[in-house]
Structure 1
Amino acid sequence: MPFSNATRVLRQYFGYDSLYPYQEEIIRALAEGEDVIGVIATGGGKSLCYQIPALLSEGTAIVISPLIALMKDQVDTLRECGVSAACITSLQDYRERRETEAAIVHGEVRVLYVSPERAVKKEFFSLLKKAHITLIAVDEAHCISQWGHEFRPEYRELSRLIREFSHAPVVALTATATPAVQKDIIAQLHLRRPRRVTGSFYRKNLRYEVRSKKDTKGAILSYLRAHQGQAGIIYCLSRKGVEDLTATLRRSGIRALPYHAGLTRQEREAAQEAFVRDRVQVIIATVAFGMGIDKPDVRFVIHHDLPRSPEHYYQETGRAGRDGDPADCILFYSAGDLHRQAFFIRQESSAARQRSAYAKLEEMAAYCEEQRCRQAMILQYFGEEPPAGGCGSCDICCSPRERFDGTDVTRMAVTCVQALEVPCGSNHLIDLLRGANTKKIRELGQKNTPGYGVGKAYSKDEWRSFIRELIRMGYLGRESGAYPVLTVGEAGEELLAAGADTEEVYLTRTKAVKDDHREEPADPGFLRLKALRREIADREGIAPYMIFSDAAIREMVARRPTTDAEFLSIKGVGAAKLERFGPAFMATLRHEDSKADNSARETLRLYCSGCTITEIARERSLTPDICAAHLTEAIEGGEQVEIDDLVPPHRQASIREAAAREGTRDIRRLKAVLGDRFSYTDIRLTCAADRQRDGK
């Protein structure tokens, strides 16, 4: 298994020029016969970590995968890249299975996918002994650990397969594994002094946001209307929640389908296929959905309800933006979600698992309530150092925050907690501070409690934020468990003891996030190539992304390849895809160019005669964005176009600073960083002028 050929294989089959450092480390270790445990973020290229070694070897790699739908998608994708891949599943008929088995025995299958249940059967062992097995890959390896978030007992038997074929190196891969889970994976699979490789959990293209649960259905509907044509997943806690939201969206004209365990297998498979093939915009699902999805162009993941752990949340949001383009991750939250999740935790039979689950739920509450960078909190949970200064794109980093003197607020909360004879949780404390007339307050006779009603000026959401911040700062404490009660912390005792001489306590409060984000207007050429991709996909019976990703199509539109060599240089285009799809896509581009040249020249002529973009758009019945795109093409074609009238110099300077800081001139990435103060037109024209200036 010579590692020196890895880059050549990567380019030939998958159309990329380089590996990530963690991919290279895993592949090199496997090439040298070592076992590996790899923790790599969803969308970080886990599959290549076993697909490349499989192609470097002269035999067959066995991949243990948890879902049939995922296996089928992986096999179809590999075949489109020219790789001999197969799977053995319960859905195959006798003839198809025998043909696959014969191909395995004759060494014609390089990558073979099977479920964990099949992988440990004696008859499967007998089949594999007739083949040349060179690698065993366990995908979604967290399923083997009782401390993982998707524990599957059948995974525990995989050590039998590994012992049977002990000559083959083993790679266990997962997107979410705490140190305890990693240790359990190693023990359960009997990995031999494995190399531990952890990629970054930082998904820079994901925009994390938490919203309060107020008219949640209306907020979701508003978001979807503003992002028409984009694919996304919405998670709900219950089947009823899934069905209700699906009905609401469909009545409003949104192409949506439900997915939950109460549907038949055929209904679930039909919904998943419709989503993967872009026939519906949205899937509304319980956590039963997503593990088998390899769709790269999911532009948003919305959680209608609170997930029970950071692992669940990270893996589910990780299904967004796997192509590297910006994507939104929005979580709707209320304190009631904590009680619902706590109810499910209490059903756990193991006290140890209950304690672990409560701790994870507390981490989710902190994620929602604390006023800290969302990405930083996720990274710290998984033991990774967050970026200095925050991510710059989550709601906390982008929303205006106000630091204010919160001494009185702190004193209100601490005094009230100290005065209580019966300890209480956050919600009850908020009711006391806001002077609520609840049944519990009346039964306990707490209307005369010091602090009752003194916090009416602040909303429940504001008090939740303040209490969370006071706990983090040590003014309050909170016990763990099913019913976490509040206590006075050390800093709180010092504050009360100091009386009027206390130092000021500063807290923060944030304004609500406005959903005024809009995506980049779609380029007509991009839309036509997507239509061509959809036409080919329907004819071939495969998902559109298996032909080319959106990112690859966007690069084609930008670079306009006209030769095989130029087309092959597009990221994601390998030799097999060039041969099968290259001629049709290049012919479409040539046709577009012949029409666009005349149109762009007319726009340039009118602009040079003194017309503004708005005037040109009105004159030619075009949008201002298309006219700006014409001028961008003119600049990139060498025409001298003065853009100071289009983009004021101070705005150009801000765009250039962002490009230098981020190390990119990618329009969508810069838009995500700069926000809504800058239009795509501003960024596109400035970057075009800079490329012309730099001769690039």
Structure 2
Amino acid sequence: MLQQAQDYLKKYFGYTSFRKGQDQIIANIIAGKDTLGIMPTGGGKSICYQIPALIFPGITIVISPLISLMKDQTDTLTALGIPATFINSTLSQGEVNQRLGQADDGRYKLLYIAPERFESELFFSWIRSLPISMFAIDEAHCISQWGHDFRPSYQTIASVIEALPNRPIISAFTATATPEVIRDIETILDLKGNTFITGFQRENLVYSVVRGENKRDVVLQVLEDNPDQSGIIYASTRKEVQLLYDFLLLKGYRAGMYHGGMNEQERERNQDQFIYDEIQVMVATNAFGMGIDKSNVRFVIHYNLPKNMEAYVQEAGRAGRDGEPSQCILLFHPQDIQIQKFLIEQSVSHEERKKQEYEKLQIMVDYCHTQQCLSNYILQYFGETGHEECGTCSNCSEESELVDRTIEAQKVFSCIVRMQERYGVTMIAKVLKGSLDKKLLQFRLHHLSTYGLLKQHTEKEISDFIHWLVAEDYLMLAGGKFPIVKLRPPAKAVLLRQESVYRKVRKRKQVFAQDEVLFQHLRELRKQLAEEAQVPPYVIFADSTLREMCESLPGNRMDMLNVKGVGEVKYEKYGAQFLAVIQSYLQEHP
């Protein structure tokens, strides 16, 4: 049956080989085994259940957390010639009944539904009569209370499936699961160890952290470097989204915005404009993007610090889903930490959960200050080790030199010791600066021998240095909302002059994007065809497919079918028109 899977991959999706791990996962599923797939965002999770759904008799039910994801997936499948539909709250009861009837008649191979449907007795009684071969659970981390998007309705899924007269196969997928969350998913779904982790590395993504620069200037530079390319800018609050959106419009950019304070019609209209390439950049809170399968997002900017690494990887991972080089840029300012702490206090009441959220936030702060390879930092968080430096992130690629910071580090460590490891970063920085802060004077900290030892630096520079020492494991932050700074063993070795401290000093370089003339012609044709078919442009062909056309310059049907992403169905619909544009271009540019 794996040969049949290979045939379907070429016929429907236009690829001759599976991506890393896809073949193993698909082989396990079509062998009738329950399966958990941990794959990076953009790693091709959907194909892992869509191809088995085509092979199996009957229907596959896909449990999907967001309405936008369902519509996006079914639009894409329909364009490929695969019968699929969805049932959610946007449909009238008449439309729901009609689609249920069509599913009963065997009209669909895949049916997308929301997890909340599993709480309905009526829905359960209906699916009992369906010939269900498989349940595919997307965004499976939602099932774990330790997952970053916990949804209680997900926890009813397992019991409903077990109560069916004939238990179908279960396949579950996620991109953002720590080892703890993976164990939780395996236990709740009883997956018996059939877990495949293909890795979290996305080699086409270039990670950057920008500190100490004007954020709006950086945004404008990225937009200038990526003319006519799609991008997402995430901000923490609705107010920040509105201000940045207004600013970009004033600068003449085709921008949209998306946040929870807008009505559903506004959000849907702006989202459609973005996926149809009618606007270039979407400014949004984290309410935007989950399940948006727009493949040609060339950059994702985080205007503020995300709340945790899982959220960051999921949001940044919306860049470059077509495999083309794309940028993930995080703009950091210390004030962002306070915004996230406020949001934690407002949204989390359970004390143990709150403690965990603060710990996860600190890991993000460390990410912004580390000088290790950023890709490796992310991989290590998710339990992967042993990778070489990526060579492309801002820490690996930018010119730098090692500067001895041992003396400054010793002054910081001595100050922490004299303050009896009872204060936070801000107060330590004030003491080292020699501040006349009222609270500092009240606690008589100005009498310490370390008072004013780093007075030539600003408090911000000292705070940044302390955070860097935390990120490099010389120091640790203990506690929740107001953490105190403590020494780790490496700091004690530095105080005893057994070890030295070196810090990279680097110059920033810019990344410039280029577009070929032919690529633009192909994009224009794609946009025209997309408007006629009323689907997003990437449903016609991904950017990576258009770029391969530019490189291979296909001249006939066979050449075109050898381009990745061009299957038989797509060729019959669009192949001749794209061939005509390529031939016309070659005549003009022999």
| TM-score, normalisation: structure 1 | 0.81
Conserved 8 A contact 2:421-2:484:
no
Of 582, 587, 594, which residue of structure 1 is paired with 2:575?
582
CA distance in structure 2 between the partners assigned to 1:86 and 1:121 by the alignment: 20
Contact 1:62-1:137 within 8 A present in 2 as well: yes
Query: Which amino acid letter does the alignment assign opposite residue 478 of structure 1?
Result: L
Matched, 1:106 2:105: yes
Q: 1:335 to 1:512 in 2, by over 3 A?
A: farther
**Equivalent position amino acid for 1:375 in 2:** S
- Look up the match of 1:554: 547
1:572 aligns with 2:565: yes
Give the secondary-structure state (helix, strand or coil) at the position aligned to 2:9: helix
Q: Verify: 1:374 aligned to 2:367, yes or no.
A: no
- Deviation per residue, 1:80-119 (Å, 9 max, x gap): 1111111112222455434322321121201111111124
Structure 1 counterpart of 2:369, which letter? Answer: E
Q: Aligned partners of 1:371 and 1:37: how far apart in 2?
A: 34
From the superposition, tell whether residues 305 and 151 of structure 1 become closer, same or farther in structure 2 (CA, over 3 Å).
same
Aligned pair 1:135/2:134, yes or no? yes
Unpaired runs of at least 5, structure 2: none
Query: Given that residues 231 and 297 in structure 1 are in contact (C-alpha distance below 8 angstroms), is that contact kept between their aligned partners in structure 2?
Result: yes
Equivalent residue letter for 1:207: V
Contact 2:232-2:284 within 8 A present in 1 as well: yes
Distance 2:532 2:211 in 1: 44
Q: Within 2, Cα distance between the matches of 1:179 and 1:220?
A: 35
Cα drift, residue 45 of structure 1: 0.2
Alignment of 1:22-421 (within 5 A): 22-165=21-164, 166-189=166-189, 191-347=190-346, 348-388=348-388, 390-420=389-419
Classify 1:495/1:19 alpha carbon distance in 2 versus 1 (closer, same or farther; 3 Å).
closer
In structure 2, relative to structure 1, the CA distance for the partners of 1:183 and 1:135 (3 Å cut) is same
Within a 5 Å distance, the mapping from 1:582-601 to structure 2 comes to 582-597=575-590
Q: Give the equivalent residue in structure 1 for 2:430.
A: 431
Structure 1 residue 565 displacement after superposition? 1.6
Q: 1:192 to 1:327 in 2, by over 3 A?
A: closer
Map of 1:539 onto structure 2:
532
The change in CA–CA distance for 1:264 and 1:425 in structure 2 (over 3 A counts) is: same
State the alpha-carbon separation in 2 of the partners of residues 60 and 180 from structure 1: 32
Mapped to 2, the partners of 1:555 and 1:339 lie a distance apart of 46
Provide Cα deviations, 1:139-173, integer angstroms capped at 9, x if missing partner. 01111111011111111111233113453110111
| CA distance in structure 1 between the aligned counterparts of 2:491 and 2:121, rounded to whole angstroms | 64
Quote the residue 1:519 is aligned against. 513
TM-score between the two structures when normalised by the length of structure 2: 0.95
Deviation at 1:182, TM superposition (A): 1.5
For 1:681, the equivalent position in structure 2 comes to none
Aligned residue type for 1:576 = V
Please show how residues 474-485 of structure 1 align to structure 2 within 5 Å: 475-485=474-484
1:278: how far off? 0.3
Residues in 2 aligned to 1:57 and 1:237: alpha-carbon distance in whole angstroms: 43
Residues 432 and 53 of structure 1: CA distance in aligned 2, closer, same or farther (over 3 Å): same
Paired AA for residue 182 in structure 1: I
Is the 8 Å Cα contact of residues 231 and 298 (structure 1) preserved in structure 2? yes
1:508 matches 2:503: yes
Following TM superposition, by how much is the alpha carbon of 1:244 offset from its aligned partner in structure 2, in angstroms?
0.8
Does the CA contact (< 8 Å) of 2:40 and 2:175 recur in 1? yes
Letter of the structure 2 residue corresponding to residue 377 of structure 1: Y
Residue 492 of structure 1 and its aligned partner are, at CA, apart by 4.2
What secondary structure is seen at the aligned counterpart in 2 of 1:411?
A: helix
Instruction: Point out the more displaced range, 92-101 or 292-301.
Output: 92-101
Q: Is the 8 A contact 1:404 1:508 kept in 2?
A: yes
Hey, what's the Cα distance between the residues in 1 that align with 2:322 and 2:522? 17
Q: Secondary structure at the match of 2:504?
A: strand
Moved more, 440-449 or 150-159: 440-449
Q: 1:335-386: per-residue Cα shift (whole Å, max 9, x none)?
A: 2222322233334221221221122112111111111110010000001125
> 1:316-351: per-residue Cα shift (whole Å, max 9, x none)?
101011111111111111222223222333342212
Question: Equivalents in 1 of 2:67, 2:492: separation in Å?
Answer: 58
After superposing on structure 2, the runs of 4+ consecutive aligned residues of structure 1 that deviate more than 6 Å are none
Give structure 1 stretches of 5+ with no counterpart: 598-696
Contact 2:36-2:191 at 8 Å conserved across structures: no
Residues 213-268 of structure 1 show CA distances to partners (whole Å, capped at 9, x for unaligned) of 53212221232123221111111111111111111111111111111110001111
- The residue that corresponds to 1:689 in the other structure is none
- SS of 2:21's partner is helix
Distance in 2 (CA, whole Å) between partners of 1:380 and 1:9 is 35
Percent of matched pairs sharing the same residue:
38
**In 2, Cα distance between equivalents of 1:463 and 1:399:** 23
Change (3 A) 1:235 1:556: same
Q: Using the alignment, how far apart are the partners of 1:494 and 1:323 within structure 2?
A: 47
Show CA shifts across 1:8-60 (max 9, x none): 11111101111134211211111111111111110000001100100111211
Does structure 2 conserve the Cα–Cα contact (< 8 Å) formed by 1:233 and 1:284? yes
Secondary structure, in 3 states, of the residue corresponding to 1:441?
helix
Q: Mean alpha-carbon deviation: is it higher for 579-588 or for 442-451?
A: 442-451
Partner-residue secondary structure (3-state), 1:26: helix
Kept in 1: contact 2:421–2:485 (CA 8 A)? no
Equivalents in 2 of 1:583, 1:377: separation in Å? 46
Q: Cα 1:476–1:175, aligned 2, differ >3 Å: closer, same or farther?
A: closer
Separation (CA, whole Å) in 2 of partners of 1:474 and 1:90 = 49
Partner Cα separation in structure 1 for residue 108 and residue 18 of structure 2: 24
**Contact 1:375/1:394 (CA < 8 Å) preserved in 2?**
yes
Q: Give 1:593's aligned amino acid.
A: L
Which of the pair has the greater relative contact order for Cα pairs under 8 Å at 6+ separation? 2
Question: Which region of structure 1 is more displaced relative to structure 2, 174-183 or 162-171?
Answer: 162-171
What CA distance in whole angstroms lies between the structure 2 residues aligned with 1:552 and 1:490?
52
Cα separation, 1, equivalents of 2:116 and 2:472: 49
The Cα RMSD (Å) is 2.0
User: CA 1:335–1:532 in structure 2 vs 1: closer, same or farther (change >3 Å)?
Assistant: same
CA 1:463/1:373 → structure 2, altered by over 3 Å: closer, same or farther?
Answer: farther
* Alignment deviations for residues 534-570 of structure 1 (CA, whole Å, 9 cap, x no partner): 0010111100000001111111122222222221111
Q: Rg bigger for which structure?
A: 1
CA change 1:527–1:163 in 2 (3 A) is same
Deviations 1:599-640 (A, max 9, x none): xxxxxxxxxxxxxxxxxxxxxxxxxxxxxxxxxxxxxxxxxx
Question: Could you tell me which amino acid in structure 2 is paired with residue 381 of structure 1?
Answer: Y
- What is the CA–CA distance in structure 2 between the aligned matches of 1:545 and 1:474, rounded to whole Å? 44
CA distance in 2, matches of 1:461, 1:371: 18
One-letter amino acid of the counterpart of residue 115, structure 1: A
1:459–1:392 Cα change, 3 Å: farther
Superposed displacement of residue 438, structure 1: 2.8
Deviation at 1:450, TM superposition (A): 1.7
